[in-house]
Structure 1
Amino acid sequence: MGKLTVKQLESLTADDVGRKLFDGEGLYGRVRAQKTGVVVTFEYRFKQQGRTRTAACGKWPNESLKGIRKTRDEKQALVDAGSDPVEQGRVEKLRKQVEEAQAVERHQAELARMAAENAARRTFKDAMSQWERAELSRRKDGGKESMRAIEKDILPVLGEVALVDLKRSMLVDVLDGVVDRGARVMANHLFGDLRQFFNFALAREWVDAHPLAGLTKEKIGGRQKERERYLSEEEIIDLKQRLPSANLLHTTELSIWIMLSTCCRVGELSQARWADLDIDKGEWSIPAGNSKNAKEHTVYLSDFAKTQFQALKTLTGDSDWCLPSRDGMDHICLKSISKQIKDRVRDEPLSNRTKATGALLLSGGAWTPHDLRRTGATMMGELGVIGEVIERCLNHVEQNKLKRIYQRHELKTEQRDAWRRLGDRLALLLAADEQENVIIGRFAKTA
């Protein structure tokens, strides 16, 4: 039988699949079909220690017929020398696998070295930018407030320092500087953000240890005292009498009474749309995106609150927003109402701001929009509303996990009654300067 020729191999078709082709001297091939077309896999058959064995020699046309024969000759030489080409093939394959594994290991070591170098070059500012994109951007305000404070106090001092070189003393020195200028609360906010940032960095192995581990806010800005300020009923009456001379926007005056009678947050009112309100039905739906705890909340409006919203609608009803910005394209700035009130309870006026300094300073001292929320809740309690209902009116999340999971009753009727009681009392108080028979006092809570 003659040897195979390249021409014979090239003439093979799908009809030849399964055929066995012999080339002599133990070399033969099998015709197979693959996606690329017809191929021939060649093997070398030999005898060793009385056993017939085969060893792969290659695949045509991936390899030339000449090359396949050369491989057969090499294996035949191994047999003649008493070696097993099959075992030699296995050894060679294992050697290649070891070399590939070593190459991968070297590659990984090089990547680790490059990562270490990059980490050493990563500045605090660069790392902060990554944290802002990955974590801070998920916050309700997109992390703007935190980054504003960080860019003001932290980055100008430490921004260009390599992250791996940052020490606790360096960070604390900056925070102490914030405390020294009297901004203890801001120092604590910065400390909280830095702790979160370094947890983020530690999880990514950018740093080997948390530089602020073991520190607490008490050791930075000091324990923050919870505000207890709320307006007494005498102060509420006084507030009404002071408002005309305070030179406030009429929309802000109405906002004060709305916040007091609904116990809402200033940000929730600032972002309210008329589409969220059904004044006739007496309901205000605060979207989850506007509430502090990201939970939708319904306020059941008292007659007093309805009156304030109706008055507000005569002023801003042409806008989508209850409190529109000057151009009407958006709601007012979230800090607008707070700034207007703060200007009127401070001791000295700021430049280019209202001259009505102290116009709204009450007998109990300075107050904020959030104190109106606390005042409304306090009045509800004094009017006999139970604590659980007040918490629902405030849209607070139940702290007890079991109660939160299993007690789903929303107490809607009780909430509606609580707001009614508050509204009725406010209406009575604000009529006090017109009537002589209004009694101002504290009322015992009902069981």
Structure 2
Amino acid sequence: MPREINRLNDKQIRAWMKAGAPVAKADGGGLTFTLSAAGTAAWVLRYRHGGRARELTLGQYPDLTIQAARQRASKARAEIQRGTDVAREHQRAKAEAVAAKSFRELANDYMAKAFPKLADTTAKQRRQHIEGVIFPRLGAMAARDVTTADVVALLESVGKKKTANVAELVFTALSEIFRHGLARHAVTVNPCAGVSVAAICGRAEPRRKRLKLTEEELRELLPALPRIGPENTLTVKLLLLTCVRIGELARAEWQHVDFERAEWFVPEANSKTGRGFTVPLVPAAVALFKELRPLASGSRFVLPARQERRVRNHAGADVPFNQRALNAMLHKLCDDLGSKVRRFTPHDLRSTARSHLAALGASIIVAERCLNHSLGGLVSVYDQHDYLTERRAALETWAAFLQACESGVPWLRESNVVQLRAA
């Protein structure tokens, strides 16, 4: 007796999809309609090859109609009767399609999947190197055809035109793309393996060391800050008092500033570490935020771009201020102050705060927590305390020290040191 086929119809399928419960209904001849718990409806052909049960996904419903699914199943059954393992052939064809991807396609896939997990500045810099440096040389090649010789030639070119430091960054981006390709089976080898940028371009220049502004420099700098304008002055002081990164303050929004609790929450999206954290605000920091409120002119950002810049560059959109503008203003101010204050960047204010916090008596853990640094090792695993009370006490001592520097009052350690007791 022949097996019954064409058992299903659209009305039944729509009813099952509306019900939403997982189902697997046979249409006959091995063709099966499946509905997953997640709501994905698909056509699957079930068959046996070499005595083993096999499955071939034909397509999703309703993109693949009943009639089209039956036609595909009929063609596949004919291949099966000729001894072909159609599921295995389908897998091989997919693997070949992935392997045939151009380097550009592989790199774009890497950026789409990896960049959301990177800090904004890191992702932006890496995209520039990939699209501006790597694509012109390797973009059109099949990813699997890129060789170690191609990588070496690219790095040699970058080293001659730019610097060994840039070559290192380009090599990092290239290595990450090929690691991604190996994981996706788009390539079988990593042509970056065994390559040394130093051997090709020479050793990169050592990274600039973080700078700590001394007490004498702070006493010169703080009273001179009004020369760079009110918003910039308040920004520099907030960076010192909160110890945050410039990017975290630049993206701060008023909805996250709690004046009653004297706290500012930095959400995951704005944190370099990818973890949200709370910054205790000492009274001086609260006062600075309150001074900035009217200057924001209704923007959701604590530090919005100036209105003329918004209109000129962003079609009037509400965007945060440009961090590079502050850096330029600080360099100009330091040049005006001559040898009294060394040139520094906004990020140097973090190393300045960290160094002075230690000198003022803050413990290593409290000082590191003030900067939202990961403590690493077993401490980061087992110590889940946020040290909010201890951080607030340390920052209050730091604020008092800064106030003494700004006002020209001597900082008498014997009388001004506050014991940072555990909460």
User: TM-score normalized by structure 2?
Assistant: 0.69
Query: How has the CA–CA distance of structure 1 residues 311 and 289 changed in structure 2, closer, same or farther, with 3 Å as cutoff?
Result: same
Q: Which moved more, 1:258-267 or 1:404-413?
A: 404-413
> Is the Cα–Cα contact under 8 Å of residues 334 and 343 in structure 2 kept in the other structure?
no
Report sequence identity in percent: 27
Query: How has the CA–CA distance of structure 1 residues 254 and 110 changed in structure 2, closer, same or farther, with 3 Å as cutoff?
Result: closer
1:89 is aligned to none
Q: Larger Rg: 1 or 2?
A: 1
For each residue in 1:155-175, what CA deviation from the matched residue of structure 2 results, as whole angstroms up to 9, or x when unmatched? 112212222221223223323
> Is the Cα–Cα contact under 8 Å of residues 223 and 407 in structure 2 kept in the other structure?
no
Task: Pick one of 415, 419, 422 that aligns with 2:398.
Answer: 422
Distance between the aligned counterparts of 1:371 and 1:299, measured in 2?
A: 19
Distance between the aligned counterparts of 1:428 and 1:161, measured in 2?
A: 62
2:240 is aligned to 260
1:10 is aligned to none
> Is the Cα–Cα contact under 8 Å of residues 266 and 369 in structure 1 kept in the other structure?
yes
Query: How has the CA–CA distance of structure 1 residues 164 and 446 changed in structure 2, closer, same or farther, with 3 Å as cutoff?
Result: same
Q: Tell me the CA shift for residue 238 of structure 1.
A: 2.0
2:284 is aligned to 304
What SS does the corresponding residue of 2:192 show, helix, strand or coil? coil
Task: Pick one of 97, 103, 115 that aligns with 1:136.
Answer: 115
Q: Tell me the CA shift for residue 222 of structure 1.
A: 3.2
Distance between the aligned counterparts of 1:337 and 1:107, measured in 2?
A: 55
> Is the Cα–Cα contact under 8 Å of residues 98 and 185 in structure 2 kept in the other structure?
no
Query: How has the CA–CA distance of structure 1 residues 229 and 179 changed in structure 2, closer, same or farther, with 3 Å as cutoff?
Result: farther
The residue type equivalent to 1:132 in the other structure is M
Q: Would you say 1:212 and 2:196 are equivalent positions?
A: no
The residue type equivalent to 1:332 in the other structure is P
> Is the Cα–Cα contact under 8 Å of residues 272 and 323 in structure 1 kept in the other structure?
yes
Task: Pick one of 246, 257, 279 that aligns with 1:277.
Answer: 257
For each residue in 1:173-199, what CA deviation from the matched residue of structure 2 results, as whole angstroms up to 9, or x when unmatched? 323433334544433232222111101
Query: How has the CA–CA distance of structure 1 residues 98 and 414 changed in structure 2, closer, same or farther, with 3 Å as cutoff?
Result: same
What SS does the corresponding residue of 1:367 show, helix, strand or coil? coil
> Is the Cα–Cα contact under 8 Å of residues 338 and 368 in structure 1 kept in the other structure?
no
Task: Pick one of 331, 336, 342 that aligns with 2:328.
Answer: 342
> Is the Cα–Cα contact under 8 Å of residues 301 and 416 in structure 1 kept in the other structure?
yes
Q: Tell me the CA shift for residue 418 of structure 1.
A: 0.7
> Is the Cα–Cα contact under 8 Å of residues 270 and 331 in structure 1 kept in the other structure?
no
2:18 is aligned to none
Task: Pick one of 296, 306, 320 that aligns with 1:332.
Answer: 320
1:24 is aligned to none
Task: Pick one of 173, 183, 186 that aligns with 2:153.
Answer: 173
1:42 is aligned to none
1:7 is aligned to none
What SS does the corresponding residue of 2:233 show, helix, strand or coil? helix
Q: Tell me the CA shift for residue 440 of structure 1.
A: 9.7
1:17 is aligned to none
> Is the Cα–Cα contact under 8 Å of residues 98 and 186 in structure 2 kept in the other structure?
no
Query: How has the CA–CA distance of structure 1 residues 103 and 140 changed in structure 2, closer, same or farther, with 3 Å as cutoff?
Result: farther
> Is the Cα–Cα contact under 8 Å of residues 258 and 308 in structure 1 kept in the other structure?
yes
> Is the Cα–Cα contact under 8 Å of residues 263 and 394 in structure 1 kept in the other structure?
yes
Q: Tell me the CA shift for residue 412 of structure 1.
A: 2.1
Distance between the aligned counterparts of 1:172 and 1:237, measured in 2?
A: 51
What SS does the corresponding residue of 1:194 show, helix, strand or coil? helix
Q: Would you say 1:236 and 2:218 are equivalent positions?
A: yes
Distance between the aligned counterparts of 2:260 and 2:234, measured in 1?
A: 18
Query: How has the CA–CA distance of structure 1 residues 370 and 124 changed in structure 2, closer, same or farther, with 3 Å as cutoff?
Result: same
- The within-5 A match list for 1:182-221 is 182-215=162-195
Residue ranges of structure 2 left out of the alignment (5+ in a row) = 9-50, 52-76, 311-315
Distance between the aligned counterparts of 2:161 and 2:418, measured in 1?
A: 44
Aligned residues: 339
2:103 is aligned to 124
What SS does the corresponding residue of 1:154 show, helix, strand or coil? helix
What SS does the corresponding residue of 2:293 show, helix, strand or coil? helix
The residue type equivalent to 1:237 in the other structure is R
> Is the Cα–Cα contact under 8 Å of residues 146 and 193 in structure 1 kept in the other structure?
yes
For each residue in 1:44-77, what CA deviation from the matched residue of structure 2 results, as whole angstroms up to 9, or x when unmatched? xxxxxxxxxxxxxxxxxxxxxxxxxxxxxxxxxx
Distance between the aligned counterparts of 1:372 and 1:204, measured in 2?
A: 42
Distance between the aligned counterparts of 1:267 and 1:168, measured in 2?
A: 37
Q: Tell me the CA shift for residue 209 of structure 1.
A: 1.1
Q: Would you say 1:251 and 2:231 are equivalent positions?
A: yes
> Is the Cα–Cα contact under 8 Å of residues 345 and 361 in structure 1 kept in the other structure?
no
What SS does the corresponding residue of 2:347 show, helix, strand or coil? helix
1:12 is aligned to none
Distance between the aligned counterparts of 1:313 and 1:111, measured in 2?
A: 59
2:349 is aligned to 372
Q: Tell me the CA shift for residue 261 of structure 1.
A: 1.3
For each residue in 1:214-252, what CA deviation from the matched residue of structure 2 results, as whole angstroms up to 9, or x when unmatched? 34665566375362312111112222344344xx34212
Distance between the aligned counterparts of 1:129 and 1:252, measured in 2?
A: 38
The residue type equivalent to 1:207 in the other structure is V
Distance between the aligned counterparts of 2:407 and 2:270, measured in 1?
A: 33
User: TM-score normalized by structure 1?
Assistant: 0.65
Query: How has the CA–CA distance of structure 1 residues 368 and 362 changed in structure 2, closer, same or farther, with 3 Å as cutoff?
Result: farther
Q: Tell me the CA shift for residue 108 of structure 1.
A: 4.7
1:388 is aligned to 365
Residue ranges of structure 1 left out of the alignment (5+ in a row) = 1-28, 37-92, 347-355
> Is the Cα–Cα contact under 8 Å of residues 242 and 359 in structure 1 kept in the other structure?
no
> Is the Cα–Cα contact under 8 Å of residues 330 and 344 in structure 2 kept in the other structure?
no
Query: How has the CA–CA distance of structure 1 residues 265 and 104 changed in structure 2, closer, same or farther, with 3 Å as cutoff?
Result: same
> Is the Cα–Cα contact under 8 Å of residues 80 and 86 in structure 2 kept in the other structure?
no
Distance between the aligned counterparts of 1:111 and 1:226, measured in 2?
A: 50
2:266 is aligned to 286
- The within-5 A match list for 1:20-99 is none
Distance between the aligned counterparts of 1:154 and 1:237, measured in 2?
A: 47
Query: How has the CA–CA distance of structure 1 residues 362 and 391 changed in structure 2, closer, same or farther, with 3 Å as cutoff?
Result: farther
